[in-house]
Amino acid sequence: MPRARKVGYFTAWSIYDRGFVPADVAVERLTHVNYSFAKLEGNTVALGDPWADVEKPHPNTTYEADDLKGNIGEFNNERSPVRLRNPQLRTLISVGGWTWSGGFSSMASSAHSRAEFVRSVGDFLQRYRFDGIDIDWEHPVEGGMDGNPHSPDDARNYLILLRELRQYLDHECPRPRFGRYEISIATSAAPSVYRHLDIGAIAHVVDHINIMTYDYAGSWSQSAGHHQNLFKPTAGDQGINSHDTVSDYIHRGAPPHKLVLGVGFYGRGFSNVKARHSTIPTLPGLGCSFSGVPKGTWEPGSFDYKDLRANYMNHDANYTIYWDDTAKAPILFNSHEQVLISFDDAVAVSWKADYVLRRGLGGIMIWELSQDYQHELLTKICDYLG
């Protein structure tokens, strides 16, 4: 069996308020870094934040005249200290994401615009020394950010685009350092979204599929629930769990070894949880109604694991950890403030890593690397996946 992938997303904006730079990434423990995000300008791929991406100097790197700088240079410049720590690391540029997926539908709709995109990808990969591309179109046909254009033909055009991209990178571009450019895609765990895709045909073209098996519950939900539970929960089943999603992808034609299970290194919070309505005393608030979300770490309702680990999971905090043994997922609950936080801890990611091995999946994908606590979750994943 091929070595399990350990794919970590590094976000360009991590270097700002979060103070997380490429040198902080445990590259020795990863097989892939997906650099997020590039965007579409018209029908071509463009840098998302040029200063952070290729201009910012990093203090521990000595640059020569033609060297890549910025975050991308730290990962892709063969002389950078980060690269030297793991010369076998593969880096992919991730294009799109939640905010920058609005141009995909139009770009994929014609042979001319697809060809323009495909050529720009080849140029981009060579110029910035990436080992492949991760297409994060959120989402074809329906879903994604309000206002994004959609078409009933999106799914068909997406498959054509991926086939044309594969053909171009294999036959029209110089061979990269690892012999072949990789193509991955990021896809939803929601059946209402991925039902439009020809999963089997896509899996035949791409190297792997990163399933975003998280955000099952949040501010948009009717009740407080797990946001990335492996199995059906004890209470408050919102209809999605990772096991069922993976099984459905396989049923739709994806070989297990091409499926990469997503793990969010963050939690989702719920305020004013009506815990008195809990049906299971050992899981207070789970499946109960709520109103609003707590402040979060950087945005309302979302908590970095490092924040939870340092400030919510200690003896001085007013939160108690409860374990849902059916879902294989924990929650934090504050009975005084009536706040519930769903997240993954070291035990939960252990279950997921073991699940990847037992089902012969392609590996684990992490959103995103700056949110870990002293590499605690990544280390636990590596205890299983190597």
Q: How far apart are the first and last CA of the chain?
A: 13
DSSP state of 299: B
CA distance 271 to 266: 17
Query: What single string gives the DSSP state of each residue in 298-341?
Result: SBTTEEEHHHHHHHTSSTTSS-EEEEETTTTEEEEEETTTTEEE
The residue type of 3 is: R
CA distance 246 to 209: 11
CA dihedral 246, 247, 249, 255 (to 10 degrees): 90
Closest by CA to 383, choosing from 360, 354, 344, is 354
CA distance 124 to 93: 9
Give the SS3 label for residue 227: coil
Q: Are strands 259-264 and 363-367 parallel, antiparallel or unpaired?
A: parallel
Q: Are strands 266-270 and 302-304 parallel, antiparallel or unpaired?
A: antiparallel
| Catalytic (active site) residue 142 | no
Residue recorded with tokens 């402040």: 295
Q: Element (H or E) spanning 158, and its range? A: helix 154-171
264, 214 in Cβ contact below 8 A? yes
For residue 297, what are the β-bridge partners? none
Q: Of the listed 55, 74, 138, 368, which one is catalytic?
A: 138
Q: Give the Cα-Cα-Cα angle 296, 353, 21 (nearest 5 degrees).
A: 50
CA distance 231 to 156: 31
56, 20 in Cβ contact below 8 A? no
DSSP state of 327: T
Q: Element (H or E) spanning 193, and its range? A: helix 191-194
For residue 324, what are the β-bridge partners? 329
DSSP state of 3: P
Hey, which residues are catalytic here? Answer: 138
